[in-house]
Amino acid sequence: MVRARVFAAASVAALLGACGGGDSGGSAPPIQVPPVTSLPVTLPVTLSATSADIDVAEGQTADFGFTATYTGTSTQPVVADVAVGADRYQLVGTPTASGSSFTVALRTAALAPGGETTSTVTFRLCTSTSCSTVYPGSTQSFTVNLDVQLKDWSTFQRDAAHTGYVAVNYDTARFADAWSVTTPLRAKGVAARRGSVFYNTVLPTGRLVTRSINAASGQQQWETDLGTGNYFSAPAYANGRVVSMAMDLSSGAIPMPILAASDGKVMGSLSYDSQFSNGGTPTPFGDDLYYQSGYYGNVVFGANAATFSRTWRTDATQSSRGFVHEGQSVAVDGSSVYFFGGGDLTILNRASGAVTRRVANPYFTKFGLSYFGVYHGAPILDGAGRIVTFTDNRSPTTALPLVAFGPTGTDPLWRSSGSYVGHPALRAGRPYAIRAGTAIVDMIDMENGSVVGSINLGDDKGQLTSNIVLTGSHLFVASDTATYAVDLRATTPAVVWSRPRGGSLAITPDNLLVVTNATGVSAYRLH
């Protein structure tokens, strides 16, 4: 609770007073009546508003407040006392006095945790800063209905840039276990919107299903059968729609059902060509959807998920320059789609699919066509025209250097000196990546690829293997058997929380850290 107090000039008024006495008779001594302390006069207060409905987007702040005006006068000081009953907003300075009014300014906290809350700001007038005496009639309440709207976990590493970053600060002391769901086979990752978490798994019957979980309770909301599921991706979510790449047999027209997030019903379908491959998680961008596959790989697709129509198909193959058959999520921004084919970074026009630029990757080694051309992960966009990938085809546990490409030029900007595993995340324009074979996370300079700092979680943590998720306050990372949180605000960042369950990580709009692995889906409340 936060308080602020300020004096107003006191005006002259008569003080309230009282006296008293008792009967006397016979030889009884007179009754001694103690003096009565004068009470302040009544100062009724009226607020300019009694409540505020505040909606604020992730990473943003909003200003609000009210004016408190009192009537009456007092010979004693008039001090404004304000108590803020929540921690996702605070007073801006102290209340400003003007005559018989006080203006109270409030602002939502930077990087506030998501969700809807209702709290109360209490205003009152006192005779001193200690507020031991409150003017009768002055206490008033101001209700704050605050909704901090975190973005959806929409695709691999959260967004179309695949940054793995959530603009929010958390308090480690509030972390708590939420729920856990057992799955027959591995859940590869999740998508999430407010109120729901979506994942794919294969049933003992061999059928692939998409499931929706209530974010608050962990109870299943619906399940939709996608067919025989030997090969599949994690789900993607955007604008009320859930979509996955799933197949069993090779085909030039594999269906991609689009499900209603509310009930799991099939709304429509897209298609793609592929053979025996685990697709990468599709990448939504508004109502548009982008994904990579192809019968022999290296094909990028653009589609509209609202109209269930494919808008373009581009074969990005370069002779003898490598290829990707499965596993990759393409990156997308307002103008372009980014596909890493191993030997090249290919940039395509988002509207038409036309190739606008290629940058050769001189560090690629796996030349030639192979049914095992995989790239599990995605290019990472820093928002300033630079793109980071691994240097070669890879599985999540493959140790490789990172390579960066710039907004112009025909050569990479840099290649890292060290090798990394899992998948990096990006915070404040800086990649965080797991050093191969260690429990160390390196922070890498986006300009030149140098390591500018490292976080050692401790030799007892084993080898880290997961994707990294970053917030304003914490880094989340996992081994195969445990998940860890590191407080980035500490002078020497160190592990401040852990749970004995490792796997793929995501943070939902409901402040849930979700961990998926071979046995199920577990959630932990961060706020």
Distance, CA of 443 to CA of 381 (rounded, Å): 16
- As a whole number of angstroms, the distance between CA 361 and CA 391 comes to 7
DSSP assignment letter at 430: E
Pick from 319, 269, 324, 335: nearest CA to 300? 324
Q: Render pLDDT for 341-398 as a digit per residue (tens, 0 to 9).
A: 989 999 999 999 999 999 999 999 876 555 568 899 999 999 999 999 999 999 888 9
Domains and CATH numbers, the chain: 2-149 (2.60.40.10), 165-525 (2.130.10.10)
pLDDT tens digit sequence for 59-68: 999 999 999 9
The total of other beta-carbon atoms located within 10 Å of residue 198's CB is 27
State the DSSP string of 26-69. Answer: TTPPPPPPPPPPPPPPP--EEES-SEEEEEEETT---EEEEEEE
pLDDT at 12: 34
Give the dihedral of Cα atoms 427, 481, 231, 214; nearest 10 deg.
-70
pTM of the complete model beyond 0.75: yes
Residue by residue, pLDDT tens for the chain (527 residues) are 445 555 454 433 333 333 333 343 444 445 444 443 456 789 999 999 999 999 999 999 999 999 999 999 999 999 999 999 889 999 999 999 999 999 999 999 999 999 999 999 999 999 999 999 999 999 999 999 999 999 999 999 999 999 999 999 999 999 999 999 999 877 889 999 999 999 999 998 889 999 999 999 999 999 999 988 778 999 999 999 999 998 877 777 889 999 999 999 999 999 888 887 888 999 999 999 999 998 888 999 999 999 999 999 999 988 668 888 889 999 999 999 999 998 999 999 999 999 999 999 999 987 655 556 889 999 999 999 999 999 999 988 899 999 999 999 889 999 999 999 999 999 999 999 999 999 999 999 999 999 999 999 999 999 999 999 999 999 999 999 999 999 999 999 999 999 999 999 999 999 999 999 989 999 999 99
Residues 6 or more apart whose CB falls under 8 angstroms from that of 35 comprise: none
Task: Tell the residue number behind the tokens 């399940």, with chain if given.
Answer: 223
